[in-house]
Amino acid sequence: MAKVNMKMPEEFLMKVSKLADQTDVIIPKVLEAGGDVVLEKVKSNLQSVVGKDTKYPSKSTGELVSSLGLTSAKQDRNGDYNVKVGFAEPRSDGGSNAKIANIIEYGKHGQPAKPFLKPAKSASRKPCMGAMIAKLEEEIEKI
């Protein structure tokens, strides 16, 4: 049986070891860069569907769009990092922004669905990954 022995360049090994020490700092930055891309797409989709094609004049106050935000990267109990795009609660009138967003996304009796989340997820997938890769490469270059 043949045996192969490969040695990695010393510079590469040093960068990888430094990267391992910095992962807790780099990962949140990378995820937040991707989350910003998704947030902007969700916000633009939401603005394009709120108050459009309604039977009655729109009573939109802009509160739903302004409550849309991005959490900071947090580590869950499994050790995975997550960022979330979502709505701040509660509304000024005591209602739920998530409930209103759900009604807009899926509709209700007498109100057709106007999806904005699912199309944003599909449309922002590649740009999000691109932004995350670019941020990761930027952070690696700093090492």
Report how far residue 89's alpha carbon sits from residue 95's, in angstroms, rounded to the nearest whole number. Answer: 8
**Count of domains in the chain?**
1
Q: Sort residue 95 into left (φ over 0), alpha (ψ -120 to 50) or beta.
A: beta
| Residue-number span of the structural domain to which 83 is assigned | 26-49+62-142
> Minimum mean pLDDT among 2-16, 42-56, 89-103: which range?
2-16
Indicate whether 13 belongs to any domain: no
Pairing of strands 85-87, 81-82: unpaired
pLDDT in tens, 11-70: 766 776 777 778 888 889 989 999 999 999 999 999 999 877 777 777 778 899 999 999
Indicate whether 8 belongs to any domain: no
Indicate whether 18 belongs to any domain: no
Indicate whether 88 belongs to any domain: yes
Indicate whether 54 belongs to any domain: no
Indicate whether 31 belongs to any domain: yes
pTM above 0.85, yes or no: no
Indicate whether 98 belongs to any domain: yes
Indicate whether 76 belongs to any domain: yes
